[in-house]
Each structure stands twice: as C-alpha cells, then as structure tokens.
Structure 1
Amino acid sequence: MSRIRRHTPLRRRPVRNAAIVGTAVLAAALTACSGGSGGSGDGKGGAADLAGAGKKAEISVNLTGQQAKAGEPVKVTLAAGKLQEVTVTDAKGGKLAGKTGADGRTWTSDRVAAPGTTYAVEAKDDKGSTAKAGFTTAAADKVNKLSLSPGKDTTVGVAQPLSIVFDHPVKNKAAVEKQLKVTTSDNTLGSWGWMEDYSGKSRVDWRPKDYWKSGTKVTLEADLNGVDSGSGWFVKDYKTGFTVGRNQVVKVDLDNHRLKLYRDGAVVKDIPVSGGTPGGDKRSWRGKAVLMAKEGTINMNSETVGLGDAYNKMVDYSMRLTWSGMYAHAAPWNAQYFGNTNHSSGCIGMSDSNAKELYGTVQVGDPFEIVGDDTKGPQAVNNGYGEWNLSWEQWQKKSALTGGSTSGA
C-alpha cells in the first residue's frame, strides 16, 4: 500500500534588523514611517514596509569587538548611497562629533575613542535607511592625571600663567598640546611652553605675550580623554577658568632697598625693604617673579634651602615667589637694615605693619619685578613661574607645535 507524502510549505521567518559587529560589513533593516507606501499603516515596520522601501543600508566601522584600540578616530563607511547622519554615543550619553567626507560615504570623528569605553554607532543614509553597530575599547593599562593652576573661578594678577603639571611624563607633547584650548574674552595672544617642573614632573604653561589686561576672562578646555601621553592614557577631560583682577605690579629695587606697588601705573605703596646679603648663596633672585601663594604664618628653616642652620623661625605674612624658597615677608628682627642694607638670607623683608598691608593688597599672580646688581640672576623658568624672564621669541620655541603662538579667541 503506497504512502502518500504531504508537502508542507516552509514557514518564512519574520524579518529582523541585522546588526553584525566586527570587521564584516554591517547591514541594518529599513525603518518606515507609519502609513507609508506598501505598509500596513500601523507604524510597526513589517515585511511590507521593507519590500516597499528599497535596498538595505550597509555600513562598516573601523573599530570592532570588545577590545578595540583606543586613541583612534571612529570611521564609519557606507557601502552605497550618501550618509545623512552619524551618531557615536558612549554609555554615559556623551557623543563624538565628526564630519562626513567629500564622497558623502565616509564619516570620521573629530576626537578619538577613549579607553575602556563602550560606543554605539548609528548611521542614516539619504534614503531613510538606518544601520547600527557597537564596540568597546580596551581599558587603559596606565592612567595619566594632571593638576591645573590657577584654581577654577579664581581672580588672579596680570602675570599669572595657566599651568598644568602631569602625574606621569608626557612623551607625546604635540598630541597633548593640540587638545589644550585657551579661550579669552579679548583674544589675548599667548603660547604654550613645555618644561620639567621643579618637582621633576612634566609641565606645560600658557603665557600671554604681555601681561594680561585687567578684567580678562580666561577658560582652558583640556579635551584629553582618549589621548595617549606616551606613559599613560588620559581618561577624562578637564576644564578651568579664571578672571584677571586689578592691574598691579610690584617693583623691588635692591640697590635702593625700596619696594613699590603700582596700580594702573601709579605708585600706591612705597616700602623700605632689605634683600639677600650680597656676595654668596644668600643673595636674592632678580628678574620677573610671580606671586605664587599667600601662605600667611609659616615655619622657615634654612636647612631646607641649603643654608645650614642660619635660621629656624615662624614668619608672618609670607608671600611665596619661588619654589626654592624666596619670599616677601615680615622680618622685624632685621628692622635696622630696612631701606639701607641688604642683609637677609635671600628673601625680601619688611616691617610687620608694611608686610601686613602689602599682604592684604597683593593678588596671587601679581608680578614682582626685582632689580639689583649683586643678585643670583634671573630665577629658572620652572622655579615658580619664571617664564617672564624669557623673551616672547624664546618662550614660543618651548611649544611642541610648529609656530608656537596662539590667540586665545
């Protein structure tokens, strides 16, 4: 008896969006508007929608998988047609901006992919088709961090530079400097300059060509997330800003033993002082120093600055000028020398009352312009903020980028 075999039609699987992450081309299903031609009108985008919409969009992404290389721009390429929009979003909602190339098919992010970050990629073509992809970059094996000066939302004097000190050495100086953007309210001209900080760490400062103008507002955006310093990755961006305060300059004449405070070009204080003893290691530095900090009452010990046991005492109204230990401060024990003789261990001393008044008036960032025949010479560029002892041309050469100078637009 013969057996009758029935033929059962194969069931069609429902169409799904395809998203293949990897080096292979990624294809994504079309999306259709509710009520579109050939659709059901329910906005769900079923098989009829696909049939009526045309060919699927196909993209490829240069970074793929779960251990993609950080520090590279994201590149999205459309197989055919023209790109209308590309979004690259991280898990926290941050987006990488980018530009579409002249061919209309290739999009490249302006910034690089950061380490240890998951990204979602979505591209739309000129036919309304959408494709998606995703990848995760490898985590940083070593992280570099930094400290910024001056502090955020502070008011500083006209000589205060922007200063960045890094936790680990910066070998890729040009790559880092490209990501440091200074914006000023009056298009101040300035330049970055690299040095080894007094602490031995990598440091870069942004100094105007001339002293700041009073009232200038300054912003630094350090867009470093994803940049390889050469000895560690940056894994975040940094931002700070400050305002330039009163136009004040302190001029110290060690030959005549006078300190004069100028405000807007006029003398507002004239103080008798005593500087470093001539003829040896106790001499003062000369040149342009910048008031680094107002430290109040501190212990000063000569052993910490290589002067043996010459002194160890508490000192009031201490105003730091260098890392090596030069201050302006109250020195009542030296009263007989104020205005006539340099007889200190390198600092600029004055009476208690004059020190108190000056301390209450000066701003961090005010320049101290010191002159005198028998001094140590100008302080080193990294001994505090010694960059003002370099000419503008010398300072520009310390930039890692060709040309050096930039306008803080």
Structure 2
Amino acid sequence: MHRIRPRTLLAPTAAVLALAALTACSGGAATDDGKEGGQDAPRTRIAVNLSGDRARAGEPVVVTLAEGELRQVTVTDSRGARLDGTVSADKKRWTSGRKAAPGTAYAVEARDAAGGSARAEFTTAAAEKVNKLTLAPGKNTTVGMGQPLSIVFDHPVKNKAEVEKHLKVTTSNRTEGSWGWMTDWSGKDRVDWRPKEYWKSGTKVTLNAELNGVDSGAGGWFVRDYTTGFSVGTSQVVKVDLDAHRLSLVRDGQVVREVPMSAGTPGGEKASWRGKAVLMSKEGTINMRSETVGLGDAYDKMVDYSMRLTWSGMYAHAAPWNAAHFGNANRSSGCIGMSDGDARSVYEEVRVGDPFEITGSDAKGTQALNNGYGEWNLSWPEWRARSALR
C-alpha cells in the first residue's frame, strides 16, 4: 500500500503495478481539491514497478514519472540502507543500481522539480533458500605474497557470471588480477581472485561482495553483502628442491635460511607433490594419522611445527624420527620433514600465504588446482580463462 501526501490514489493498470499522485506541498497544506493557498497545485503521477507484501526480489526498483521532471528518489530498506540509482536523460524514470533483496521491506520517496512528493512501500517475498559463503583470508590479516582471495559457497552457484559481477576487488596499487572458478576440495563451488604475479609487499586489498539481492541459481539467494580486507607482508618464498633434499627461505631475493630435509618417498602414493603451493595454515602440534590420507596404518604421530600446504595432507613439519635421511634421501610419507630446530626456525619465519615452490623429479605429479591453493600452477591466460566473464 502507498501512503501519499496529499491524498490521491489512481487505479493501477496491468502495466503499472503501483500508481500514486505526486502533489506539490511547499508553502502550506494542500486542500483535497488539489489547491494550495487558494491557487492550483500541479498534480503528477508516478508508478513504482514493485508493490504489495510479496513483490518479486532480484529486480531493480523503477520509479516512473508521468509528467514533469524527477528531482530526487530515495529508496530505503528496513535497516536504513539505501539503494542508489540514476535518473534517465528525460528525467522521467529513476532506476536503482542494485536489485531488491528478498524478504526486505522498502520505502520509496519521490520528489519532482515542482516540489511535490509521494511515498510508496513494498516488501519482497522471502527467499525459499539462502546461499552463504566463507571468505579467506581473514579480515584485517597480513598474509604472504601468494595468498589468493578465496570464496567457498554453501550451495551451488549456477549464475556464476551474475555473481562474479558483484565481487569488487580494489588494491592500493592497481594490481592486475582475475577471478577463477573451480570445485573446491570439499565439493562446493569456489571462486578465487589471483594476481597476475605474486602480490607486492605492502599491498592493501579490499573485497566488496555486493551480493544482497543476487540469485545464485539453484543454490538460492544471497541476503547480505560481505566485505573483507587484508595486507601483504614481507616478500618471501620457500623453495623446496626434492632432488637436492634442501629447503631454502628466500626473502627480498636473498636466501636467509637453508636447511636439509627429507620429502616423500618417490615411486608411489607416498611421494610429495611438486608445483607452487601456498602455506594454508600454521597448525603447530597436531596428530597425524595415515588412515586419514589413504595410507592405512603406516603412522600415528604427534607432529610439531606443522605447516599445511594441501588439503590432501602434505605439510612441512618437524620429523626427528627421519633424521638419518635429512639432506640425502626422500623417505617420508609425503611431507617435507626437518629437524626440530630447523622446523621451528622455518615455522617462526614463514607467514600464511607464503608460496612454497617445490621442484624436482622425486614427485608424484603437480598439485591440483583445488588441493589447497594451486592456482599458481596455471599460466596467466589459463587462469583468466576460468573467469565466468571471459
């Protein structure tokens, strides 16, 4: 129902869902016959494309003026947030830049060039299914130069292009990058934003996911916006040479630490992955059990200084039980093992998001795209091709 100042309501037609009279109201109260202070007041009609208490979500709000010129339109939801919009060149139509969200009450106020005003109200139908998402990295964190922006959705995203259009990335130095879609290791839809090259140290990154009112398709509607931001820390990379059995920490182009290590036993499932991995988390002391990675009952150990590199269970960590092989042979069950002291030093110096560049022939293949953050193993054209907007 529309509330009008002053009272006049014209019957709706099939083409106009809501029609209200817009009457000049400056300089005094208007009379019922449309006269103000004894003089005729101009009377103009507006139409709002959405009406009632179950209006269709996912459409822009459109306010149309029959006569005269629109000066201002304000559309506000029940939480006080506004929908911005633009007026057409002929000043007769206003269209919101964003779409009406499901399950939301809106108030519309329009003013014309003659000083008239009118209000309208509508409520969109609630979403039958709501889609949510998980963002990485965490808000206000400082990460390594290989960390991508990563979004995992609770439910499938059929309308990938539409969703991607509403994911706005800004950086402090205009870093070139692109979104890329994949199926996450968990089986859910995922989209990551990766720079063309590693981030530059000191870069500040902001994501505005303006998804409120966007239909993801089979997975349902988004009913809120999301924001996150992070900074890029020291420029450093960990280089792992499987054939030389050495791990090196390179900071600002200089090797600052080099330690002997033993990686996965070559020739089978116990071999390590090669490629460019990204440090996903620093997990400290954890219980590692071989049955969780498909290796039967080969081991069940408490492991110190654990640094996760893949979802499939490849870590860098302390492995004192394997000391006889550090620097001369790969004899682990897939992880990169070091002495307690070396593992502690590396653990203390690396940061989540640091790239681990793993090279050598003693590997079982290249880390998969979705097995952690494997996007750096794709060329820039290959990565850009994974955008839904290309």
Q: TM-score range by the shorter chain?
A: over 0.9
| Structure 2 partner of 1:38 | none
Identical-residue share of aligned pairs (%): 68
1:263 aligns with 2:251: yes
Q: Distance in 1 between matches of 2:188 and 2:37?
A: 60
Q: TM-score, normalised by structure 1?
A: 0.90
Q: Distance in 2 between matches of 1:356 and 1:289?
A: 20
1:251 aligns with 2:239: yes
Q: What secondary structure is seen at the aligned counterpart in 2 of 1:285? A: strand
Q: Distance in 2 between matches of 1:91 and 1:50?
A: 35
Q: Distance in 1 between matches of 2:354 and 2:49?
A: 51
| Structure 1 partner of 2:19 | 25
**Shift in Å at residue 54 of structure 1?**
2.8
Q: Distance in 2 between matches of 1:256 and 1:52?
A: 95
2:272 partner amino acid? S
**Shift in Å at residue 132 of structure 1?**
1.7
Of 292-301 and 23-32, the range deviating more from structure 2: 23-32
1:144 aligns with 2:138: no
Q: Distance in 2 between matches of 1:173 and 1:322?
A: 26
Structure-2 change in CA distance of 1:234 and 1:19 (3 Å): farther
Answer with 1 or 2: which has the greater Rg: 1
Match of 2:311 among 323, 346, 349: 323
1:336 aligns with 2:324: yes
Q: RMSD value over aligned CA atoms?
A: 1.4
Of 362-371 and 121-130, the range deviating more from structure 2: 121-130
The C-alpha deviation readout for 1:93-127, integer Å capped at 9, x for no partner, is: 11000001122101110000000111111111111
| Structure 2 partner of 1:309 | 297
The C-alpha deviation readout for 1:285-317, integer Å capped at 9, x for no partner, is: 000000000000001000110111110110000
1:179 aligns with 2:166: yes
| Structure 1 partner of 2:117 | 130
Q: Distance in 1 between matches of 2:8 and 2:273?
A: 71
**Shift in Å at residue 51 of structure 1?**
5.0
Q: TM-score, normalised by structure 2?
A: 0.95
Mapping of residues 199-210 of structure 1, within 5 Å: 199-210=186-197
Structure-2 change in CA distance of 1:127 and 1:269 (3 Å): same
**Shift in Å at residue 21 of structure 1?**
9.3
Does the CA-based 8 Å contact 1:158-1:244 persist in structure 2? yes
Does the CA-based 8 Å contact 2:18-2:51 persist in structure 1? no
**Shift in Å at residue 53 of structure 1?**
5.3
Match of 2:176 among 181, 189, 209: 189
Structure-2 change in CA distance of 1:31 and 1:340 (3 Å): same
Mapping of residues 291-310 of structure 1, within 5 Å: 291-310=279-298
1:194 partner amino acid? W
Does the CA-based 8 Å contact 1:190-1:207 persist in structure 2? yes
**Shift in Å at residue 378 of structure 1?**
1.2
Does the CA-based 8 Å contact 1:157-1:363 persist in structure 2? yes
Does the CA-based 8 Å contact 2:304-2:317 persist in structure 1? yes
**Shift in Å at residue 16 of structure 1?**
3.8
The C-alpha deviation readout for 1:257-285, integer Å capped at 9, x for no partner, is: 00000000000000100010011110000
Structure-2 change in CA distance of 1:341 and 1:21 (3 Å): farther
The C-alpha deviation readout for 1:161-193, integer Å capped at 9, x for no partner, is: 000000000000011000000010000000000
Q: What secondary structure is seen at the aligned counterpart in 2 of 1:334? A: helix
**Shift in Å at residue 234 of structure 1?**
0.4
Unaligned runs of 5+ in 2: none
- Residue correspondences, number: 379
| Structure 2 partner of 1:229 | 216
